[in-house]
Structure 1
Amino acid sequence: MGSCSKGGNNSYDYSFKILLIGDSGVGKSSLLLSFISDFVHDLSPTIGVDFKIKLLTIGGKRLKLTIWDTAGQERFGTLTSSYYRGAHGIILVYDVTRRETFTNLSDIWAKEVQLYSTNHECIKILLGNKVDRENERAVTREEGLALAQEHKSLFLECSAKTKENVHHCFKDLTLKILEVPSLLENGSAVVKKQILKQKQVQQAPRNGGCCS
């Protein structure tokens, strides 16, 4: 469905884990849906951590992005270190029409990233969503850019509703990850492990029946 596909374990060069974090209601799930499919509709907050897989080719490399969405868990303060573990890229999302979602990026989310992230060179991008509601804007573009520079992050404004800059965000993030040797090694190690596991499964004696 859409352009999301799981594909075979050996159909990509690198596997990267991308996180979407930020306050509830800033549009994280809508951004994810907008990126992996061709339509967007209003989403009700869900409980639990959700993830989607997107296969794409950037810079001549075949990539598997596993994109994790907190799916409402941030409202209960139940995100754990395992959510952040091994992330290659982190998208910190705020709503340009709600200033508290912007201040919480510094007060809460950036601190969590620093505390729990295991890939210390992971790439971060600050993303201001809902620019389609320009007349309700509460955070200026200049403020967003200044905060991104303070946290050594990339910066973009976008709209999950109109799709403006959504693909651009994931592409910029992924291109930056591809420039960091430690993240490449990490992403490639995951792939090698999965290919090895697949070979072991293929070499295992078959007893008939069905394998999933």
Structure 2
Amino acid sequence: MSDENPEKLFLQEKPTRALLFIGSMGKTYASVISKEIDSTFAHTTRILAKMEQCGLIRFTFEGRIKFVELTEYGREVEAALKGFRDLIEEEPLKDKKEESRDISPEMEEAAEKEGEKEPEQAEELDPLNAEIFEKIKKLRNKIESIHRDAIEHGDSKDTISRKLGPYSRDIKKLQNQIERAESSISETVILALEESEELLEAYLRSEE
């Protein structure tokens, strides 16, 4: 196992949530984890890299899709975290109410806002990177919206594939724009596009 300290990793909320989510899914991929733990894709990939160094997860490929799953050691840690979580949740409700009386509304609001902050803020993007990043976000939202609506309406696999297929061209256009860019393209932007491509391929693959 790496010198990376698992204790430091799991004293943070999002790595803990990520590992428990991976365990519940069995096999999933980074973009889904990112949404589940409410984190940027770049920060999620850093968390997963640290987990891999600790021997908690492993990456596998099916075609071009990169999946993540727990190792045997990861499952042991997952069980320990679940036990700890269950123990904490057994705290009597009365104690929680008594504690809440000692905290003013202003303090509660400040604590909530503090908890919402991203541990590592996304890097500030220059105008070109910001423009491409915004296009990628809109494209991903469109892909997710179409897939969600199609599933809700019970569309056939062929219909879903026809609806989503054209977006492969949009991803290719963005890839070409990045390749032709005269200035440096941020890793955040590149990862976001790779994430969107993986998401689209996963949707299309599930309809085959």
TM-score, normalised with respect to structure 2: 0.24
Structure showing the higher strand proportion among its residues: 1
TM-score, normalised with respect to structure 1: 0.24
Structure showing the higher helix proportion among its residues: 2
If you compute each CA radius of gyration, which structure gives the higher value, 1 or 2?
2
